[in-house]
Structure 1
Amino acid sequence: MIGKGKAIAHTQASVAYGWNQEKGAEVVFKQELVGDSPNEITQEFKMVQDQNYHCQKNTLSFVISPTIEDGKRLQQKDFEMICKRFLKEMKLEQRQAIAFVHNNKEHAHIHLYVNRIDFRGVAYNDSFIGKRSQYAAEKVAEQLQLTTVKQVQFEKQFLLKEVRQEIKRRHELSLKQFTPKNFESYIKAMQNNGVKVLPSINKSGNIQGFRFEFNGYNLKGSEVHRSMTGGNIGQRLYGQSNSVIKNIAPVKVLDKAIPLAPRLALSIVKKVAKRVVKHSIDAGIGI
């Protein structure tokens, strides 16, 4: 579960957004308030806020987002409990507050609005409110046995590691199975093995590298493995002939020939030349 928070000045517009019926809004929590419209709620907030003329951003706005899976099984009473626990963690229990759940998207989430001014006219200290909101959401998630941000991050990292390994495996398989000798044939070989290779084109209209799309992930070559940068792939492709190359032909993308960026082309030429020289030296001394 993720928590975000900030102090705002536009109370009525924010409450109206929270109450938007087009977003499937549902009031799940109300405290120290009786109004039934954004205008009425704003007026009730203002009656208390008028005690403190120095505070301009006098309303606190929070967004509390359970994971998609948690959101699907939560009922109104559960969302109400989340709001109560969150306010307690933030030390905002004795204040005017109202919360809505938006159900217009797959990802149900809470919009919670709290009067920053208490009944004594004292403004709530909003220092580091963003970080404190996240910490409070983590605590509430743990208390209610909901998925925390740390758990989500761990799962993403675990899945990303598996995806990277699988792309790398299919990369090696494509090189071995189809023995491509240029980028065009390499892209086709990878596509045959279920990985889409997307050229990264710079502002000059040249290819400066490649991205790999697989199983919903889109990663740069260097993010997959250091051996899968444009230069290292080019060395594998163009270095098979054991002869120094002078230039590399443009890559055809959607029937359009796009040249490699000069830096990438030069990197490949240097890598291949170095490999050829080493091969020649090794052959000459009988290694």
Structure 2
Amino acid sequence: MIGKGKSIAHTGTSIEYGWNQEKDAEIVFSQHLAGTDPQEITEEFKLIQQENARCQKNTLSFILSPTVEDGKSLSKEKLWELSQRFIKEMGLKERQAIAFVHRDKAHTHVHLYVNRIGFDGKAYNDSFIGKRSQLAADNVAKEMGLTTVKEVQLEKELDSLKVRLKIKDIHHKVMESQRPKTLDSYIEAMQKRNVEVIPTINKANRLQGFRLQYEGHNLKASEVHRSMSGGRIMAQLSQNKGISKPKEVGKSVQLMGKTLEMSTNLAMGIAKNIIKKTIKRAIDTGIGY
């Protein structure tokens, strides 16, 4: 579960947003309040906030977002428990608060608003409130058996690793079996295997690298693997043409029927990789020994 928090000044507008019926809003938690509509709740907040006129951002706004799967199984009662536990973790039990669930999207999430001004007129210390909100959300998730943000991040990292390995495998199969000689033929061969190669064009309208899109992931080519940087891909295409010397590499490339200049960094990267492969080939064949 992800937890976000901040101090805000627009209390009424935020509570009206939370109550938005177009988002299938439903009150799932309330404490120290009697109002039955956004205006009444806002007025109750303001009565307490008048006790501390110096505090401008006098309402705390939190968003609690369980994972999509966890959200499907959270009843109104469980969302009340989730909100109540979070309030306790943040040390806000003795303040006015109201929470709404939004189910207008697949991702169920809770909007929680708490009066930053206590009944004693003192403002809640909102230092590092974003970080503290996430820590509190993690603790609540553990207590309720929900997925924590660390578990979500680990799952994303594992998913990304699987995708990167798939793309790398497809790239090597294309290079080994088809040995494309042009950028267009490489892009076409990758596309047939469901990998979209997206040229990256800089502000000077020069080709500086590539991004690869596959199964909903969009990655820089070098993020997939260091052997797939723009310079290395272009160097391999050049060598497939029979180019073995850096000076034979031009400063432009044909892409979809147009001539496109390459960035200085990309051109240098191609030259360096051609040199490295030439040296390696010489060592492997024993030339010069």
Q: Shared fold (TM-score greater than 0.5)?
A: yes
Distance 2:191 2:264 in 1: 26
Aligned to 1:69: 69
Aligned pair in 2 of structure 1 residues 286, 24: CA closer, same or farther (>3 Å)? Answer: same
CA distance in structure 1 between the aligned counterparts of 2:195 and 2:274, rounded to whole angstroms: 26
**Counterpart residue number, 1:251:** 254
Shift of 1:243: 3.7
Whole-angstrom CA distance in 1 between matches of 2:149 and 2:258: 44
Post-superposition Cα deviations, 1:162-201, rounded to whole Å, max 9, x if no partner, equal: 1111111111000111111121111112112221111011
Partner amino acid, structure 1, of 2:66: P
| Structure 1 residues 281 and 176: CA distance shift in structure 2, 3 A | closer
CA distance in structure 2 between the aligned counterparts of 1:153 and 1:51, rounded to whole angstroms: 42
Counterpart of 2:13 in structure 1: which amino acid?
A
- The match for 2:55 is 55
Give secondary structure in 1 for the equivalent of 2:60.
Answer: strand
Structure 2: state its 5+ residue gaps. none
Change (3 A) 1:274 1:153: closer
Compare 52-61 and 134-143 and name the one that shifted more.
Answer: 52-61
Deviation at 1:54, TM superposition (A): 2.2
Instruction: Summarize the alignment of residues 1-287 of structure 1 with structure 2, pairs less than 5 Å apart.
Output: 1-240=1-240, 241=242, 243-244=244-245, 245-247=248-250, 249-253=252-256, 255-273=257-275, 275-276=277-278, 285=287
User: How many correspondences in the alignment?
Assistant: 286
| Larger CA deviation: 146-155 vs 276-285 | 276-285
Distance 2:227 2:166 in 1: 14
How much does 1:119 deviate?
1.4
8 A contact 1:174–1:193 mirrored in 2: no
C-alpha distance in 1 between matches for 2:188 and 2:49: 65
How does the TM-score come out when normalised to structure 1? 0.93
TM-score using structure 2 length: 0.92
8 Å Cα contact 2:5-2:63 kept in structure 1: yes
Q: CA RMSD in A?
A: 2.0
Q: How far did 1:286 drift?
A: 6.7
The 8 Å contact of residues 19 and 25 in structure 1, kept in 2 or not, is answered as yes
8 Å CA contact retained: 1:191, 1:197: yes
Q: How far apart, CA to CA, are the structure 2 residues paired with 1:34 and 1:206?
A: 63
User: Residue type of the partner of 1:111?
Assistant: H
- Relative to structure 1, the CA distance from residue 77 to residue 247 in structure 2 (aligned partners, 3 Å threshold; closer, same or farther) is same
Structure 2 CA distance for partners of 1:86 and 1:243, relative to 1, 3 Å: closer
2:280, 2:113 → 1: CA distance? 69
Structure 1, gaps ≥5 residues long: none
Decide whether aligned partners of structure 1 residues 279 and 172 sit closer, same or farther in structure 2, where only a CA change above 3 A counts: closer
- Counterparts in 2 of 1:286 and 1:273: CA distance versus 1, 3 Å: closer
Does structure 1 conserve the Cα–Cα contact (< 8 Å) formed by 2:282 and 2:288? no
Deviation (angstroms), 1:20:
1.0
- Quick one: distance in 2 between partners of 1:284 and 1:67? 57
Q: Distance in 1 between the 2:287 and 2:9 partners?
A: 79
1:135-155 Cα offsets, whole Å, 9 max, x none, are 000000000001100000010
Deviation at 1:252, TM superposition (A): 1.8
Q: What secondary structure does 1:100 align onto?
A: strand
Amino acid at match of 1:146: L
Q: Do 1:251 and 1:260's aligned partners in 2 also have CA atoms closer than 8 Å?
A: no
- Aligned partner of 1:247: which letter? G
